[in-house]
A = this chain, B = another copy of it.
Amino acid sequence: MGPLEGACEAWKLLLRVFAAERARLPAIAAELGLSEAQCLVLEHLDPAAPVLMCRLAETLDCDRSNITGIVGRLEARGLVERRPNASDRRVKNLVLTEAGRQQRRRLLDRLAEPPAGIRALRPEEQKTLQAILRRAFAADAGP
């Protein structure tokens, strides 16, 4: 068996895990009273440092006007604040409110919960899985 067929087979299995995970995010979002897109933005806000809207648009690979709408709704719910930036008056500093920080923490906690299948693996299998995934996607992780 060549490496391509092995890769396809492994990828097919990963895609099945994706499909299951894809179904979980809307449920988590609804549970928190947010939309999926709002969750993605919340996830990329930094509790410790302000984030610029253009950086968000870049990270989420979408139009800036889209971010305007989503951040507007998050702000309406009191989770985020737009603040002026001292050194560049074109940009806005996005800062999480206290409620926003809590909501983001809840979201990350729910996302980080490993599914039962992963939890049921033996510790050495979990370590092997980590090692293989790290090796496969090392290029994304930097030095």
Contacts and interface: CB of A to CB of B under 8 A. Distances in A.
A130 B6 contact: yes
Contacts of A139: 116-117
B121 A23 contact: no
B123 A13 contact: no
Interface residues of A, number: 51
A118 B12 CA distance: 11
A3 B122 contact: yes
A127 B140 CA distance: 22
A48 interface: no
Interface of A: 1-4, 6-18, 20-23, 26, 61, 111-123, 125-130, 132-140
